[in-house]
Structure 1
Amino acid sequence: MRTAKLEDMVKGWFIGDFEPSLCRTEDVEVAVKRYRRGDSEALHHHKIATEYTVIIAGRVAMNGVEYGAGDIVVMEPGEATDFACLEDGTVNVVVKLPGASDDKYPGGAP
């Protein structure tokens, strides 16, 4: 048995092709992300990966639509989204499939 601390991972990413990682792989990326109200990400898209965002606790807005605990948002390659955390204590699980280093592009897809 091995153990690790999420706080030791880079921005909550604990599986994928980066260091540190509990499972170094190019096949998938998995993170547990913790947010505070006001945290945000600018509009972006992925060319390769499908991104699955599961809201575990709290509320977020993506593309102006509010989501809460239990919602799952799936962004296919080429679809763009922004992100805003609406309340403290928000927790998301994010899965990117396949894992694709450097697959985050600003703005909408051309």
Structure 2
Amino acid sequence: MRSDKLENMFRGWFVGNFTPTLYQTNDVEVAVKNYPAGATEEWHYHKIATELTVIISGEVEMCDRRFGAGEIIVMEPGEGTGFAAITDVTTVVVKVPGANNDKYLKEE
């Protein structure tokens, strides 16, 4: 058995091609992410990965829509969005397949 703490993982990513990680793979990436109210991420998209975001607690804005606890957002390759935490938020994010350097900002 192995164990670690989420706070020791790279930005919450505990499965994937990251250092450190609890499970090294290129097949999938999994993270638990915590954001304070007001936190944002720039508009971006992925060319390879499908990204699934589960809102565990709180409320976010993505794709000009609000989502709350229990909702799941699926972004297919080529679909883009920004991210804004309306309240303190906890999410689980899964990217399939795992694909390093697959994050493209609006101007790219």
Q: How high is the TM-score relative to the length of structure 2?
A: 0.97
Question: Paired residue for 1:79?
Answer: 79
| Matches of 2:76 and 2:63, distance apart in 1 | 14
Measured after TM superposition, the shift of residue 108 of structure 1 is: 7.6
Structure 1 spans left out of the alignment, 5+ residues: none
Q: Deviations over 1:23-49 (max 9, x none)?
A: 110000000000101110111000000
Question: Paired residue for 2:97?
Answer: 98
The letter for the 1-side match of 2:91 is N
Measured after TM superposition, the shift of residue 98 of structure 1 is: 0.1
How many pairs does the alignment contain? 108
Question: Paired residue for 1:63?
Answer: 63
The letter for the 1-side match of 2:40 is S
| Matches of 2:12 and 2:18, distance apart in 1 | 12
Structure 2 spans left out of the alignment, 5+ residues: none
The letter for the 2-side match of 1:103 is D
Q: How high is the TM-score relative to the length of structure 1?
A: 0.95
Q: Deviations over 1:45-76 (max 9, x none)?
A: 00000000000000000021000000000000
Q: CA RMSD in A?
A: 1.2
Mapping of 1:14-29 within 5 angstroms?
14-29=14-29
| Matches of 1:22 and 1:75, distance apart in 2 | 25
Q: Per the alignment, in what secondary structure is the counterpart of residue 55 of structure 2?
A: strand
List, as ranges, runs of 4+ consecutive aligned residues in structure 1 with deviation greater than 4 Å.
none
